[in-house]
Amino acid sequence: MSAVNSVDKAARILTRLSRGGAANVGTIADELQIPLSTTYKILASLEQHGLVERSPAHGYRLGYRLIEFGHRAQQSDLLAVVHPLIA
């Protein structure tokens, strides 16, 4: 698995969770047609970074770390728009 393929698969998993809600490893692997072992490894890595969380009752869901990323992205966009106006 190349680095680019891994990033692509991780992005697809995050997109799946954002659109379809929590799911177990098997469901994610089946829906995205990614091998189960690969899906598990990517989810484990995403979990280590706080990008997904695992719940025994509901499977994997998006992690709270993504809120931090979204907040920072929003701030960056806001600064890019406001800076020319206040400079």
**Neighbour tally for 12: CB within 10 Å:** 17
Reading the block at residue 62, the tokens are 């998006």
Question: Taking a C-beta distance cutoff of 8 angstroms, is the pair 65, 51 a contact?
Answer: yes
**Neighbour tally for 13: CB within 10 Å:** 25
pLDDT digits (tens, 9 = 90+) for 27-76: 999 999 999 999 999 999 999 999 999 998 999 999 999 988 887 777 77
Q: Which element (helix H / strand E) includes 37?
A: helix 36-48
This prediction's pTM: 0.81
Of 72, 60, 54, which Cα lies nearest the Cα of 16? Answer: 60
